[in-house]
């Protein structure tokens, strides 16, 4: 369940909440086919019977107790060594990655304005588009005395309602101590806009899509299709409405009314945040909460944004709010692992120019020493 993103963007359905059994993990009871089938006995009947065991010789016993060599680890270490050598020979080893967990605040010059990029779907994904990721970066900016203000560069169509609510509160709390300005890229809608609305100022391009204030919950009824396919679904539930979101039957009128009220309550949190952050009345926000986006030009006129401008304009505004006549720009990013940085260098990604140091190789070896041979 989430604030509505712009049209034609996938929406994370509110019907994927926890507390719901997966269709493949049901249930027990007489006459039902349980996903928790009886365990298959070890050494199934497909194995051919073995011949009578022969007495073990001393040499065979000695061989049996010799430890297995970790050939997989040796191969992995060899590959890493070759890749590291390639990186050095290519001359791409410039800076140390692991000498510091951060590249932003530790290298921030006095009187800096930090840029935090929030690009992607708002949710609990561990990135700067998540509550935990954004809070970590804002806490870093807050703790560094060299950073005087923050610009949040936003390019997102929205996401999960609760994540947007949490992140909006983090921006609001940060604003109490240091200025924070939003620079909108191509899109700044729904949950992303709820977050942005708490900043001191919002900059947009003329063609930026912004707003899309609203909340949506989606329920799909597959019962007609299942009937055509000859599939019959029996839901064994603890309450009449527990299966209301499974799609195996239509919603009842009572259930539809219940979910509509649920959406209205969640949307009220959204609109209240916008009203508070943008200093608008509840009536003004209600008129703008059509679920549709506005262009940057229209948003400036209706009060959802402050000014047409670029990222550089947003940086200047943040510095001005911090009382700076001149400033340095720094970037705050969440850290990456040394292994991903190595492969990023070889693939020519944005991390490639950061290089690989001796401390990086030491960290890689430590990671591989704990490698269990499984690829996630």
Are 319 and 185 within one domain? yes
Are 181 and 329 within one domain? yes
Among residues 242, 248, 328, 329, the one annotated as catalytic is: 242
Task: Note the pLDDT tens digit of each residue in 211-221.
Answer: 999 999 999 99
Verify whether residue 18 is a known catalytic residue. no
Are 247 and 361 within one domain? no
Are 168 and 251 within one domain? no
Select the more confidently predicted residue: 362 or 154. Answer: 154
Among residues 130, 156, 184, 190, the one annotated as catalytic is: 190
3-state secondary structure of 100: coil
Are 116 and 183 within one domain? yes
Q: Let me know if residue 222 belongs to a domain.
A: yes
3-state secondary structure of 37: coil
Q: With contact defined as beta carbons under 8 Å apart, do 122 and 153 qualify?
A: no
Select the more confidently predicted residue: 98 or 152. Answer: 152
Q: Residue 90: is its pLDDT beyond 60?
A: no
Q: Can you give the pTM of this predicted structure?
A: 0.66
Q: Let me know if residue 159 belongs to a domain.
A: yes
Q: Let me know if residue 48 belongs to a domain.
A: no
Are 168 and 285 within one domain? no
Verify whether residue 242 is a known catalytic residue. yes
Are 110 and 166 within one domain? yes
3-state secondary structure of 5: coil
Q: With contact defined as beta carbons under 8 Å apart, do 201 and 322 qualify?
A: no
CA angle 229, 232, 237 (to 5 degrees): 145
373 φψ region: left (φ > 0), alpha (ψ -120 to 50), beta (else): left
Count the domains in the chain.
3
Are 148 and 136 within one domain? yes
Are 131 and 188 within one domain? yes
Q: Let me know if residue 156 belongs to a domain.
A: yes
Are 162 and 174 within one domain? yes
How much is the pLDDT for 367?
62
Q: Which domain holds residue 92?
A: 72-98+336-369
Are 111 and 194 within one domain? yes
CATH number at residue 146: 3.90.226.10
Are 169 and 306 within one domain? yes
Element at 80 (helix H, strand E): helix 71-89
Residues in the chain: 376
247 CB-near residues (< 8 Å, 6+ apart): 219, 220, 221, 222, 223
How much is the pLDDT for 41?
38
Q: Let me know if residue 120 belongs to a domain.
A: yes
pLDDT above 70 coverage of the chain, percent: 63
């Amino acid at each position: 369940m989430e604030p509505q993103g712009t049209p034609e963007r996938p929406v994370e359905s509110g019907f994927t909440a926890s507390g719901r059994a997966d269709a493949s993990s049901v249930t027990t009871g007489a006459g039902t086919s349980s996903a928790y089938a009886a365990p298959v006995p070890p050494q199934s009947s497909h194995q051919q019977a073995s011949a009578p065991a022969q007495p073990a010789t001393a040499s065979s016993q000695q061989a049996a107790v010799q430890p297995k060599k970790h050939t997989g680890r040796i191969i992995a270490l060899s590959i890493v060594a070759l890749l590291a050598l390639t990186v050095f020979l290519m001359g791409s080893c410039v800076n140390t990655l692991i000498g510091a967990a951060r590249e932003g605040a530790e290298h921030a010059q006095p009187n800096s304005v930090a840029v935090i990029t929030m690009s992607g779907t708002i949710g609990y994904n561990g990135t700067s588009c998540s509550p935990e990721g954004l809070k970590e970066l804002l806490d870093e900016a807050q703790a560094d005395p060299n950073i005087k203000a923050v610009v949040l560069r936003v390019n997102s169509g929205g996401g999960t309602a609760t994540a947007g609510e949490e992140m909006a509160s983090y921006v609001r709390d940060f604003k109490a101590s240091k200025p924070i300005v939003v620079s909108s890229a191509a899109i700044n809608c729904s949950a992303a806009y709820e977050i942005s609305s708490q900043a001191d100022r919002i900059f947009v391009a003329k063609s930026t899509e912004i707003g899309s204030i609203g909340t949506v919950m989606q329920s799909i009824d597959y019962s007609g299709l299942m009937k055509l396919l000859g599939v019959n679904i029996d839901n064994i539930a603890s309450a009449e409405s527990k299966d209301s979101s499974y799609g195996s039957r239509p919603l009842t009128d009572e259930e539809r009314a219940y979910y509509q009220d649920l959406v209205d309550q969640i949307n009220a949190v959204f609109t209240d945040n916008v009203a508070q952050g943008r200093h608008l009345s509840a009536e003004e926000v209600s008129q703008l909460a059509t679920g549709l986006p506005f262009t940057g030009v229209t948003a400036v006129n209706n009060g959802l944004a402050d000014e047409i401008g670029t990222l550089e304009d947003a940086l200047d505004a943040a510095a001005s709010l911090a009382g700076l006549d001149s400033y340095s720009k720094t970037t705050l990013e969440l850290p990456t692992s040394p292994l991903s940085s190595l492969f990023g260098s070889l693939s020519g990604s944005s991390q490639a120019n950061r290089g690989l140091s001796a401390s990086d190789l030491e960290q890689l070896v430590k990671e591989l020493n704990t490698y269990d041979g499984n690829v996630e």
